[in-house]
Structure 1
Amino acid sequence: MRTDDLIDALASDTGATRRSPPRRLVLVAGLGALAALALVLTVLHVRHDLMPAMRGGMFWMKALYTGALGVAGYLAIERLARPGGSGRRGWILGLAALAVFAVAGTVQAMVSPHVAHALHMLRGHSWTHCSPNILFLGLPMLALGLWAVRGMAPTRPIAAGFATGLFAGGVAATVYGLHCAENTFTFVAMWYSLGVLMVAALGAIIGRWALRW
């Protein structure tokens, strides 16, 4: 069990840990991205039209969205890894990015010529395995991130675990774009978001006990 005195003592020693979380988290992101890339190359495989796709705007819009979710997780956990820290900046960024894509996806579906077309934009060709694939790619970084955060000083384990999962999910979803050929706001807003949130939820569940001290 934590005590108020111990938390106060840790909080008074922030000078020793102020630079540690950013360095560790950047390393976690780098290793997590490499692990996700290795899984894409060896298990899922890169989309066959990657080079033409990279010349299109939607490829980079997906990366911008998922990257923003990853940055949101980083901003949250960078603060939550410190005694008494708050992830408010990260939560605001994450919710803003989610809201923008949700609105764009909804509008895109609403202006479609008929319901069948809207359903096709929502489901695409891979809706059944998009979210699980993102979870799969995010597991190595989530494990590494929780291990790194455990060595810091989080005082809110569930929130810290969720933020770590959001961080890992955002990075994994960005790398997943190298494999996924879906290109509608509607699809990304639903299934990419769900995949990232699955990693975040798993982080919160594990963090509840793994980040306690």
Structure 2
Amino acid sequence: MKTEDLVGLLSTGITPVRSGSATRRFCASLPIAAIGATLLMATVFGIRPDLGAVVKTAIFWEKLAFPVCLAIGALIATARLARPGARVGAGWPVMTIPLVVVWLAAILIVVTAAPQDRLPAILGHSWRTCPFNILLLAAPGFIAIFWAVKGLAPTRLRLAGAISGLLASSIATVAYCFHCPEMSPAFWSIWYVAGMLLPAALGTVLGPRLLRW
């Protein structure tokens, strides 16, 4: 077969990719993640009864800012990894900085607390269930975001799966903040992070299978 014939055969039936595909897919999947997590939170766990008073405190907005910043970083990374051969790029520092800030705050709280108050600050009242609650709330976003990423032809499937899972779980954690009574960074630094890492680990395992195109 001549080179010209081979090129002609390979190019047969190819149609141009519509511009803005990534934007459309994420604009569809992210609201599903946010609305799905919020509805699940309100239905399964319920909104904390003192929310009206809590939203007037700085610590609530600090708690909310933690998963919001992680979600922004994970979105940047996911949008890049959804493209063939792309790297995480600016997503890494945006994801890392809020983790470092919360861990430093947690260390300061534990070090300065009285010895009898240190373990309660870390465990809170819901450490046994918190990570699994976040995992549950991440389910709608996990499905929707994997759908979005798969259609954009990722090539680093395990990493793309992990960051997609982190994006879903960080959005779920934002919703969970409106139920969770825990107000200590020492708690968030362990149990919120554990809850967000569960879908990320699941995405690492399932990425090569679910994101293959």
Amino acid in structure 2 at the alignment position of 1:153: A
Q: Residue 30 of structure 2 contacts residue 144 of structure 2 at CA under 8 Å; is this kept in 1?
A: no
Instruction: Give the aligned partner of residue 169 of structure 2.
Output: 169
Q: Residue 69 of structure 1 contacts residue 94 of structure 1 at CA under 8 Å; is this kept in 2?
A: yes
Instruction: Give the aligned partner of residue 180 of structure 2.
Output: 180
Equivalent-residue separation in structure 1 for 2:205 and 2:19 (angstroms): 27
Instruction: Give the aligned partner of residue 149 of structure 1.
Output: 149
Residues 118 and 18 from structure 1, CA distance in 2 versus in 1: closer, same or farther, beyond 3 angstroms?
A: farther
User: Shift in Å at residue 17 of structure 1?
Assistant: 6.2
User: Shift in Å at residue 69 of structure 1?
Assistant: 0.9
Instruction: Tell me the alpha carbon deviations over residues 128-158 of structure 1, each in whole angstroms, 9 at most, x when there is no partner.
Output: 1111100110011101111121111101101
Listed as ranges, the gaps of 5+ residues in structure 1 are 1-8, 10-14
User: Shift in Å at residue 93 of structure 1?
Assistant: 1.3
- Which SS does the other structure have where 2:90 is aligned? helix
Equivalent-residue separation in structure 2 for 1:201 and 1:68 (angstroms): 20
Instruction: Give the aligned partner of residue 12 of structure 1.
Output: none
Instruction: Give the aligned partner of residue 201 of structure 1.
Output: 201
Instruction: Tell me the alpha carbon deviations over residues 51-79 of structure 1, each in whole angstroms, 9 at most, x when there is no partner.
Output: 10111111111111101111111000100
Q: Residue 169 of structure 1 contacts residue 196 of structure 1 at CA under 8 Å; is this kept in 2?
A: yes
Amino acid in structure 2 at the alignment position of 1:159: L
Amino acid in structure 2 at the alignment position of 1:93: V
Listed as ranges, the gaps of 5+ residues in structure 2 are 1-9, 11-15
Instruction: Give the aligned partner of residue 103 of structure 1.
Output: 104
Residues 81 and 17 from structure 1, CA distance in 2 versus in 1: closer, same or farther, beyond 3 angstroms?
A: farther
Task: Tell me the TM-score normalized by structure 1.
Answer: 0.89
- 1:5-24 equivalences under 5 Å are 16=17, 19-24=20-25
Equivalent-residue separation in structure 1 for 2:112 and 2:24 (angstroms): 45
Larger Rg over CA atoms? 2
- Which SS does the other structure have where 2:39 is aligned? helix
Instruction: Tell me the alpha carbon deviations over residues 88-112 of structure 1, each in whole angstroms, 9 at most, x when there is no partner.
Output: 2112211221111111111111110
Equivalent-residue separation in structure 2 for 1:184 and 1:172 (angstroms): 19
User: Shift in Å at residue 18 of structure 1?
Assistant: 5.8
Q: Residue 47 of structure 2 contacts residue 178 of structure 2 at CA under 8 Å; is this kept in 1?
A: yes
Residues 26 and 212 from structure 1, CA distance in 2 versus in 1: closer, same or farther, beyond 3 angstroms?
A: same
Instruction: Give the aligned partner of residue 58 of structure 2.
Output: 57
User: Shift in Å at residue 206 of structure 1?
Assistant: 1.1
- Which SS does the other structure have where 2:204 is aligned? helix
Instruction: Give the aligned partner of residue 4 of structure 2.
Output: none
Residues 164 and 156 from structure 1, CA distance in 2 versus in 1: closer, same or farther, beyond 3 angstroms?
A: same
Q: Provide runs of 4+ in structure 1 moved above 3 Å.
A: 15-18
Q: Residue 122 of structure 2 contacts residue 187 of structure 2 at CA under 8 Å; is this kept in 1?
A: yes
